[in-house]
Structure 1
Amino acid sequence: MPFTYDTEVALATVAALINTAKDDLDPLVTPGGLDRFLEQQRFSGSRTRTDAELRAVRALRAELEVIWFAEEDDAVRLVNAILRRAHALPQLVRHDEWDWHFHATAPEAPLEERMATEAAMALADVIRGHELDRLRSCAAEDCDGVVLDLTRNRSKRFCDTGNCANRTHVKAYRARKAQGA
């Protein structure tokens, strides 16, 4: 099932946010690291740039990881909880280079609330489309990153945090070569 571009962008941001905890050097340990992450993800709206904001985003990261691996009924309950907390009221907006898409909070809402609501709206699309199997773990044995599989044939197996696919393929090649020698 193809998702709208804003859903795909929001899902990619969720995966990237969860995967920041998997990096050896978590970029979300300072407000400056959060600034760089949000800039990479092209996330708009107001910011306080405080330690409290950073802690709230880190807590959201853990909450979204639980949803990523949840069974459908649990995912629905958790997504609905986020939307209720934010008093979400979806509205069509257009800004910057983005065409019409949904925002469910005001641009002045706290960062973690806006991030949570965008994630919840995207995850709601995944659930409605019965596509939770597109949210999975990286297939590399030494990685616990998450994978967002938007491929048509559902073939994506490795995360985008590093070179998991290359590392795994090189290891398999060397093993095959050693068996042949």
Structure 2
Amino acid sequence: MWNFLWKMLSFPVFFGIVHLRGLVRQEDVYKPSPPTIHKSPAPQSNSDGQTIAITCKGNIHSNESTYYLYNSRHQNYTQLLHLTGDEKTATFVIKMGTDSIGNYSCNYKTKVLGNWVYSPFSKHISITQEDEWQRKAEQATQGKRHNIERKSITADGITKLEEHDATYINVAFQAE
């Protein structure tokens, strides 16, 4: 009797779960997580000025993906990188300047069960006016050479120029 009752009650529940599962899209079940985003000085800056690297890392499900970088000051993405293989991290290089100021975020698309699926957007990071001022200060410092003449006093008290960055050496005076 209990066995019959169990079958009667479990069939509608089981049927409802199967039916509900058919209504849920595969993209919703396998939705990628938002990427992480980081900002750092680029490993190599060129003579045109300082650059900043923005790195986005996502939960990639396939052998190909595309990352998009957005600046809040622009309507569309500012850069995109297509990755293949096992790569999960995209590094965008931003040349510092007044056009680079803004809030940056990224997202990516990856294939899930043969279909392209977009991730949510990352948190945002900022490139600020202070970053631009720091860049200009570093450029000004690099552009100036500091030639300071160093002097030392010899034993007889006569000053002579030194080629090295030496301090005062062998200072000795005779008592009169």
Q: TM-score, with normalisation over the residues of structure 2?
A: 0.23
Bigger share in helix: 1
Which has more radius of gyration? 2
Bigger share in strand: 2
Q: TM-score, with normalisation over the residues of structure 1?
A: 0.22
